[in-house]
Amino acid sequence: MSSSDPRASGLNARRTTRSLGAGFFASELAVLFRRRRTWAMLLALAAVPILIAVAVRISSSGSSGRGPAFIDSITQNGLFVGIAGLTIAIPLFLPLTVGVVAGDSIAGEANTATLRYLLVSPVGRIRLLVVKYLAAVVFCLAAALTLSIAGILIGIALFPVGPVTLLSGDTVGIGDSLVRSLLIALYATVSLLGLSAVGLFISTLTDAPVGAMAATVVLSIVAQVLDSLSQTEWLHPWLFSHYWLGFADLLRQPIEWSSFGQNALLQLGYVVVFGALAYGRFSSKDILS
Partner 1 sequence: MIDGSVAGSTGPAHASGLAIETTALTKRFGRQTVVDDLALSVPRGSVFGFLGPNGSGKTTTIRMLLGLAQASDGEISVLGERMPQRLGSVLPRVGALIEGPGFYPFLSGSANLRRLDSADGFAPNGTRSARVSRALDTVGLGHAADKKVRAYSLGMKQRLGIANALLAPRDLIVLDEPTNGLDPQGTREVRSLIRSLADEGTTVFVSSHLLAEIEQMCTHAAVMRAGKLVAQGTLDELRSAGTTRVIVTTPDADAAARVLRTLGLDPGHPDAPGPAVTATLSESIEPEDIVAALVAAGVRVRGFAVDHASLEDLFVALTGEGFDVVQ
Q: Which residues bind partner 1 (CB under 8 A)?
A: 1, 3-4, 8, 10-15, 18-21, 23-24, 26-27, 30-31, 34-36, 112-124, 127-128, 284, 286-288
Least distance to partner 1, CB of residue 215, Å: 23
Nearest distance from residue 42's CB to partner 1, in Å?
16
Q: How near is the Cβ of 44 to partner 1 at its closest, in Å? A: 18
In our burial notation (b when 16+ CB lie closer than 10 A, e otherwise), range 140-168 reads bbbbbbbbbbbbbbbbeebbebeebbbee
How many CA atoms does the CB half-sphere of 151 hold within 13 Å? 31
Supply the minimum distance, in Å, between the C-beta of residue 27 and partner 1. Answer: 4
Q: How far is the CB of 35 from partner 1 (least distance, A)?
A: 6
- Residues 75 and 60: beta-carbon distance below 8 Å: yes
Rounded Cα distance between 91 and 237, Å, is: 17
For the residues of 66-97, what is the DSSP string, one character each?
Answer: -SSTTHHHHHH-TTHHHHHHHHHHTTTHHHHH
The β-bridge partners of 4 are 15
Judged by CB, which is closer to partner 1: 114, or 168?
Answer: 114
Distance in Å, CB of 29 to partner 1, minimum: 11
End-to-end CA distance of the chain: 36
Are the C-beta atoms of 138 and 29 separated by less than 8 Å? yes
Nearer to partner 1, 122 or 163 (CB): 122
- Inter-residue contact 278 to 129 (CB < 8 Å): yes
Give me the least distance between CB of 6 and partner 1, in Å please. Answer: 13
Closer CB to partner 1, residue 101 or residue 190? 101
How many whole angstroms from its chain centre is CA 22? 21
- The residue among 26 and 272 lying less far from partner 1, judged by its C-beta, is 26
- Residues paired with residue 171 on neighbouring β-strands, in sequence order: 165
60 or 112: CB nearest partner 1: 112
| Vertex 160 angle, CA 158 and 161, to 5° | 110
State in angstroms the smallest separation of the CB of 58 from partner 1: 38
Question: Measured between alpha carbons, how far is 286 from 289 in angstroms, rounded to an integer?
Answer: 9
Rounded to whole angstroms, the Cα distance separating 137 from 133 reads 6
Would you tell me the crossing angle of helices 93-111 and 209-228 to the nearest 10 degrees? Answer: 150
Residue 20 or 58 with smaller CB distance to partner 1:
20
Residue closer to partner 1, measured from CB, 28 or 227: 28
Q: Closer CB to partner 1, residue 255 or residue 287?
A: 287
